[in-house]
Copies of this chain bind each other. A is one copy, B any other.
Amino acid sequence: MSPLAPGATIGILGGGQLGRLIALAAARLGLKTHVFSDDPDSPAFAVAAHATHATYEDEAALEAFSRSVAVVTYEFENVPARAAEIVSRHAVLRPGARALATTQDRLAEKSFVAGLGLATAPFRGVEDEAGLAAALAAIGAPAVLKTRRFGYDGKGQVTIRPGDDAAAAFAAIGRAPAILEGFVPFAAELSIVAARGLDGGLAAYEACENEHERHILAETRVPAAIGEGTRAAAADIARAIGDALDYVGIFAVELFLVRAADGAERLLVNEIAPRVHNSGHWTDFGAQTSQFEQHVRAIAGWPLGGTKRLGRAVSMTNLIGDAVETVPALLAEEGAHVTLYGKAQARAGRKMGHVTRIAW
């Protein structure tokens, strides 16, 4: 595959803020974008040269979309497999269908990670109540029961504590095929965002530390308060996963940091996101190349950019729901970089924008 020609059009499946920020980065590099989304109010439509509003089941629309672009990428991992297959028939899909298949299913994902020899929380597949009982017996409580598919931001999961009614927990997630994961007493939640180029080269940003509130990312801080060995281990994990998926583009690996009584640090892989990631927003203004530009460079087959952090420290704070009302004050804060997604309604739990601060 030769690199994308100047002025070519990138197709983006999904029209949320991630698609919007990819489209803006593509425009900075002189590329056009065509956004495909099932939501008529997609924030990405307003910044794309072309927009298709159709469902991910609309095969004719998917075919026309794919034929109109030089490469297709996606902003969310729940692209239906059938849609990915249709796109792949008419266009180059980056990252590929394998990354989607692996990360759409929590059990397949954990099995893949464990198969690379990387540490995870203990896990077991759960198909029915008997299977859940067996898994609980093996893993113990507390544990987290998660649907295998379509979970994000804490949706489709429930914690089972000692003495809890397992059947009720299974009912709570709709008795869907599930995975039971052992509870990890983590010292911190980390993530590492990295890009893998068409030539197999990996460019990882430094690992960052994340705070979640009600399962939604609230803040990212860089550098993470971790040892040098842990920092290197995070990069090794990213490389192993990127290589095994023959990945092209940006991906994020969510990690648990476990600290032993003697201070020894250990990383467990929690989740892989085959896309630009909220915990990588700090790179926009906070690193040499933003994750959005880096993703565009990767899927275009262009050289990857530098990943060095700028400044002594960077923080990224999500503006969720009402928090968007602080924007006037944030705009008045010198050096605060405010990014807003152009969403009309500020509902509770809805990501409206984010602010990046760099300590020089």
Q: How far is the CA of A28 from the CA of B46 in the complex (A)?
A: 11
Q: Is the CB of B28 within 8 A of A297?
A: no
Q: Is the CB of B353 within 8 A of A335?
A: no
CB distance from A145 to the nearest CB of B (A): 38
Contacts of A28 in B (CB 8 A): 24, 339-340
Q: How far is the CA of A30 from the CA of B331 in the complex (A)?
A: 13
Contacts of A173 in B (CB 8 A): none
Contacts of A23 in B (CB 8 A): 47
Contacts of A7 in B (CB 8 A): 342-344
Q: How far is the CA of A20 from the CA of B31 in the complex (A)?
A: 12
Looking at the complex, which one of B31, B297, B328 makes contact with A331 (CB distance below 8 Å)? B297
Interface residue count for A (Cβ, 8 Å)?
Answer: 42
A327 contacts B by Cβ under 8 Å: yes
Contacts of A48 in B (CB 8 A): 46-47
Q: How far is the CA of A339 from the CA of B296 in the complex (A)?
A: 13
Residues 305-328 of A, flagged 1 when their CB comes within 8 A of B and 0 if not, give 110101000000000000010011
The verdict on A6 contacting B324 (CB below 8 Å), with A20-B27, A28-B24 known, is yes
A116 contacts B by Cβ under 8 Å: no
A29 contacts B by Cβ under 8 Å: yes
A168 contacts B by Cβ under 8 Å: no
Contacts of A29 in B (CB 8 A): 338-340
Smallest CB gap from A27: residue in B: B47
Residues 43-97 of A at the B interface (beta carbon under 8 Å): 45-49
Q: How far is the CA of A303 from the CA of B24 in the complex (A)?
A: 23
Q: How far is the CA of A345 from the CA of B292 in the complex (A)?
A: 26
Residues 1-40 of A at the B interface (beta carbon under 8 Å): 3, 6-7, 20, 23-24, 27-33
Among A46, A308, A332, A338: residue with most chain B CB under 10 A: A46
A213 contacts B by Cβ under 8 Å: no
Contacts of A331 in B (CB 8 A): 297, 302-303, 305
A288 contacts B by Cβ under 8 Å: yes
Q: Is the CB of B332 within 8 A of A27?
A: no
Q: Is the CB of A49 within 8 A of B46?
A: yes
Q: How far is the CA of A33 from the CA of B310 in the complex (A)?
A: 31
Among A3, A6, A24: residue with most chain B CB under 10 A: A6
Contacts of A262 in B (CB 8 A): none
Contacts of A360 in B (CB 8 A): 310
Looking at the complex, which one of B31, B335, B341 makes contact with A306 (CB distance below 8 Å)? B335
Query: Could you list 13 further interchain pairs (A-B, Cβ under 8 angstroms) beyond the known A32-B46, A303-B332, A305-B334?
Result: A6-B324, A6-B340, A24-B28, A27-B46, A28-B339, A30-B340, A31-B342, A46-B49, A288-B335, A302-B328, A302-B331, A303-B328, A306-B334
14 pairs, CB–CB < 8 Å, chain A vs chain B: A6-B324, A6-B340, A7-B343, A7-B344, A23-B47, A27-B46, A30-B343, A30-B353, A33-B46, A46-B49, A303-B328, A303-B331, A306-B335, A310-B360
